[in-house]
Structure 1
């Protein structure tokens, strides 16, 4: 398994790099098919965020879905420990799911369990959730990195992802693995661009786009 540790707006100490590699190597017990892990350490220069000045994001690539976890703390070691705990929990959930699906029991899909949900306040909930998650992701982003400047709101980052059509249940599963509150996907049944998002408690909502 390849482990790449890199810094963003900061230098990564060799001692920290070895600490990360040693800890992450042990996580292969949950998934022996892990191909690589990327660890990115970001330094926040804003003095108001001194208690969360170091952010660590871990991305795990295997033959299955991508699994991601991140955390912020006053130092990189603390941030890494929290992010690693989140990642280990998600790897364990993924392993449990594989064991259930390969066994005799077939669990009720999340899509079926949430089919009764109505669309009340759907657009408002999705907009609020998306805004919160994007704000957290782009916090402290320098203006020189891929910024698109036009009149009106500032577009900080633009991403293009390849997507294979998937079921609603699979989209919910992958949303949990990356730790986001929403997930954009192409619905396999309707072939429509769709967004599943987390609502209050354990409820989920879905938005589909028609042209």
Structure 2
């Protein structure tokens, strides 16, 4: 199992790298097919975020869905512990799903109606334009651009996509710990977004233009 530790806006000391390897030793027990674990450490310079200035994101790449967990704290060792707790829980759930792949348990209801809540309008840019991003060539590539002369930073990342069912999208979203998940619907070939509503209900928003060449079934 390869462990890759990188820092964003910060240096990562050898002592912390060794601590990461010790803490991630159990990952192979929960996910025998794991090939690589990416560890991203981010430091936030904003004094208002001092209690969560250190963020650690863990990404497990194996034969199956990508499993991710992240956490923030006032020091990176504490953030790592919190992130690993989340990661181990998701790895256990993925392991149980593999063992019980024939289980036909009903997932939480999915609401496919358009989202009805009115969101506050986002700030509009008048004269500023988004800087042209560098090419995103391979899955996993990330690039950050700025909105003109403003302090707004836009982070773009390229992901590999396989058409999947809504049930699979719910599972994948739970594995990465996000409140939304972008996917290609296997039945309609439409780009779709699954998002969490209240409690254990979800919503799906789909575009009316199917992806060219996406397989159906």
> TM-score surpassing 0.5?
yes
What residue in structure 1 maps to residue 39 of structure 2?
Answer: 39
Paired residues of 2:112 and 2:204 also in contact (CA < 8 A): no
Q: d(CA) in 1 for partners of 2:10 and 2:47?
A: 15
Question: TM-score, normalised to structure 2's length?
Answer: 0.79
What is the total number of aligned residue pairs between the two structures?
A: 188
Q: d(CA) in 2 for partners of 1:29 and 1:202?
A: 30
Question: TM-score, normalised to structure 1's length?
Answer: 0.81
What residue in structure 2 maps to residue 14 of structure 1?
Answer: 14
Residue 114 (str. 1) matches residue 109 (str. 2): yes
SS in 1 for 2:15: helix
Q: Which residue of 167, 170, 173 corresponds with 2:168?
A: 170
Greater alpha carbon shift after TM alignment, 8-17 vs 150-159: 150-159
What residue in structure 2 maps to residue 135 of structure 1?
Answer: none
Q: Which residue of 182, 185, 189 corresponds with 2:183?
A: 185
Greater alpha carbon shift after TM alignment, 2-11 vs 81-90: 2-11
Distance 1:152 1:52, change over 3 A: closer
What residue in structure 2 maps to residue 30 of structure 1?
Answer: 30
- Deviation of the 1:20 alpha carbon: 0.7
SS in 1 for 2:10: coil
What residue in structure 1 maps to residue 62 of structure 2?
Answer: 62
SS in 1 for 2:170: helix
Paired residues of 1:163 and 1:185 also in contact (CA < 8 A): yes
Q: Which has the higher helix share?
A: 1
- Deviation of the 1:158 alpha carbon: 2.2
Distance 1:186 1:123, change over 3 A: farther
SS in 2 for 1:34: coil
Unmatched segments (≥5 aa) in structure 2: 123-142, 210-217
Paired residues of 2:112 and 2:205 also in contact (CA < 8 A): no
Paired residues of 1:100 and 1:106 also in contact (CA < 8 A): no
Q: d(CA) in 2 for partners of 1:63 and 1:96?
A: 15
Distance 1:152 1:192, change over 3 A: farther
Paired residues of 1:100 and 1:107 also in contact (CA < 8 A): no
- Deviation of the 1:23 alpha carbon: 1.1
Unmatched segments (≥5 aa) in structure 1: 132-144
